[in-house]
Chain A
Amino acid sequence: MDSKRRNFLKVAGLTAIAGIGAPSAFNMLLKGEALASSGGGHGEAAAPSGTRWGMVVDVKKFAENPELANQCISACHTVHNVPDFGNAKDEIKWLWVEKYPNAFPEHSQDKRPDYVQELPIMVLCNHCEKPPCVRACPTKATYKKKDGIVAMDYHRCIGCRFCMAACPYGARSFNWRDPRGKDENGNPFIKAENPKFPTRMRGVVEKCNFCTERLAIGQLPACVEAAAQSKALVFGDLNDPHSEVSQVLKANFTIQRKPSAGTHPSLFYII
């Protein structure tokens, strides 16, 4: 009888401890994300604190000026030493143009007007508030900074590409071959190297970093600067209600990519 009771107490005690421990263990796994996910349909964003960089893409302005997108892409890829391998299989891109149905595959719309079909949608890393890539990375080579930017440490990345499987936006590229190399004709993959930004090595993942290195010295992201005249890209602090980006968001109807993934992107689109 006694031993039975002792066993029961043991089991009861262990269960209680497990019960107390489980929620905190789960929170650890999700890095406190669980707390932010209460609220409406696909969860609401956490209460603002500090800076959170974000961007509004005014698609109409890119449609008006077909050259603009290429100027932004070129500015970005030049300043970040993004290599050009000349084929889709090895391709590395931080910022590029997609058609509307590809950028917003979940926003299906029967009888969609032709012009929407052809709109040039600039896509890049969404710098999600709840980034699945950061959750997946086994080495913290990709991590979220306090200002909301999802950044990468190219020296820690082991090239497992788990983050690429995890990203719902296809924003990440892998260095399938040496980006510092040359093609058969002796032309370097990086046309003109920018000495102010590191080149990457073979076997690591990379993506848009919201120009965190430029923000640090008070400059705007390269793509935003390239589109400055048209104001097609508005960049700023989403947590500051007086910032230009917040004003634009207040005045316009914007959409985000794949809201059902619950990632809360820092990127907004005016269609």
Chain B
Amino acid sequence: MIEKALKGSTGYWVWMLFLLSIMGAGGMFYAQQFNYGLGITGMSRDVTWGVYISQFTFLVGVAAGGLMLVLPYYLHNYKAFGRIVILGEFMAIAAIAMCLMFIIADLGQPMRALNVMLHPTPNSMLFWDMIVLNGYLVLNVLCGWVVLQSEYKGVKYPKWIKPFIYLSIPWAISIHTVTAFLYCGLPGRHFWLTAILAPRFLASAFAAGPALLMIIAMILKRTTKFDIGREAQDKLVTIIGYAALINFFFLGCEFFVAYYSQMPGHMHTLDYLFWGLGHGDQVYNNLVPFMRASVVMGLAGIALIFVSRAKQSDGLLVLSCLLIFVAFWIDKGLGLVLGGFVPNMLDQVTEYYPSVQELGITAAIWATGFFILSILYKVAISVKLEKEA
């Protein structure tokens, strides 16, 4: 089945070579980081996690987003998702692969990564995150591949896979819950210390993951004969739209608690992210344009996605999904992690700017993810089109 990835159009090969060149450049940057240390990044004593961990956090959401296809199809027998459920599972594989790469890129001593397994520590949320992420990777590889292989052979998937599929449903919830627990269980970081963090993570995940899938599906509709179908498309719009709305509701709750209670610790980071934090005689606001853009894009995306369905416009649909995806990428892939470190534990402010090497490595990991995704989607779509021809 994998041989399907070795035959493709010129466009396919140009795309893959493009990704490989980014991966190569990033590899060289990583060699620099490996030899010099993490000091090559923009991280500091005050902002100890940067774009690596924030990308990781966002991508856990993209992986969990696959649930929005698996659950209706397998649990509610929603047939319209039959053609795309495999896309959700394969997207989860690529996203988790990126998550693991971002974690490794962020470690000061990557050669010791296995210490997490050699010295299991159940009181650490990172230990549990390691378990749920790797478990989710295995589950998706297993379920996705076995089901697709059966389709390739023209038979129904074997019965023994069903329990694994059912297991993958709560497991998807667990990966983003445990990832939220990394943050919301820490005393002293008020911005993260909120019980709503895990629910909010899930809401944004269930919008951003399917939004990315929709964008890819629309590209495939243009470039191949693969069409996910009008019904599935419309249903996904409902899912993305409502999940995005719930995320903004949660964000509103955060604003209310902080600004109505007037608790300084709760307001500081929101001030920093959305208005600029006055501190001494300086105002710190390097993330304000991003965060404001995130809110505007997100709300505009929600409005447009429902309009796109009413007008049955694919162009508008892609635009709205892009808006929602980028909005949540900024929200979680920038603001959430970086904002938590401002102000620091001693009520001082250090702003963070990623270095060139750091951005190069980040781009390379994204490219690797898309490389994996392209191979998997090439196989899946070739099989689907072959069976339907």
Contacts and interface: CB of A to CB of B under 8 A. Distances in A.
Question: Are both chains from one complex?
Answer: yes
Contacts of B37: 175-178, 202-203
A138 B355 CA distance: 27
A102 B350 CA distance: 14
A188 interface: no
A225 B185 CA distance: 37
Given A132-B187, A161-B108, A263-B187, A170 B123 contact: no
A175 B108 contact: yes
A128 to B, nearest CB: 10
Contacts of B110: 158
Given A138-B121, A174-B45, A103 B126 contact: no
Contacts of B103: 160
B306 to A, nearest CB: 39
Interface string B20-55: 000000000000000011110001111011000000
Contacts of A166: 186-188
Contacts of B130: 138
Interface in B45-86: 45-46, 48-49
A105 interface: yes
A89 interface: yes
A138 B44 contact: no
Contacts of A103: 346
B312 to A, nearest CB: 47
A132 B107 contact: no
A156 B112 contact: yes
A262 B38 contact: no
B124 A203 contact: no
B150 interface: no
A139 B121 contact: yes
A156 B345 contact: no
Interface in B278-314: none
B44 A88 contact: yes
Contacts of A60: none
Interface in B151-208: 182-183, 185-189
A158 B188 contact: no
- Residue from the set B130, B348, B350 with the largest chain A CB neighbour count within 10 Å: B348
Interface in B95-147: 103, 106-110, 112-113, 115-116, 118-119, 121-127, 130
Nearest to B341: A165
Contact of B119 (A101, A156, A165): A156
B215 to A, nearest CB: 32
B352 to A, nearest CB: 10
Given A159-B108, A202-B37, A173 B45 contact: yes
**What class of interface size applies to chain A in its complex with B?**
35 or more
Given A156-B115, A168-B188, A203-B108, A135 B123 contact: yes
Interface in B325-350: 340-341, 344-348, 350
B358 to A, nearest CB: 12
Interface string A74-102: 00000000000000111110000010011
B121 A161 contact: no
B119 A29 contact: no
B188 A258 contact: yes
Task: Decide if the interface of chain B is mainly helix, strand, loop or mixed.
Answer: loop
A204 interface: yes
B187 A262 contact: yes
A28 interface: yes
B188 A261 contact: yes
A28 B123 CA distance: 7
Nearest to A101: B347
A118 B125 CA distance: 39
B187 A136 contact: no
Interface in A143-186: 156-162, 164-170, 173-178
Given A101-B347, A177-B37, A162 B119 contact: no
Interface string A12-36: 0000000000000000111100000
B109 A138 contact: no
Contacts of B187: 132, 166, 168, 261-263
B388 to A, nearest CB: 42
A138 B127 contact: yes
B108 A204 contact: yes
Given A158-B113, A204-B108, A136 B126 contact: yes
B74 to A, nearest CB: 22
A231 interface: no
Contacts of B340: 165
5 contacts: A88-B44, A140-B119, A165-B341, A166-B187, A169-B346
Interface of A: 28-31, 88-92, 98, 101-103, 105, 108, 123, 132, 134-141, 156-162, 164-170, 173-178, 201-205, 258, 261-263
Closest 3 CB pairs of A and B: A159-B108, A203-B108, A168-B188
Given A135-B185, A204-B109, 13 more contacts: A28-B123, A29-B122, A134-B123, A137-B124, A157-B112, A159-B107, A159-B108, A161-B106, A162-B182, A170-B346, A201-B109, A203-B109, A205-B108
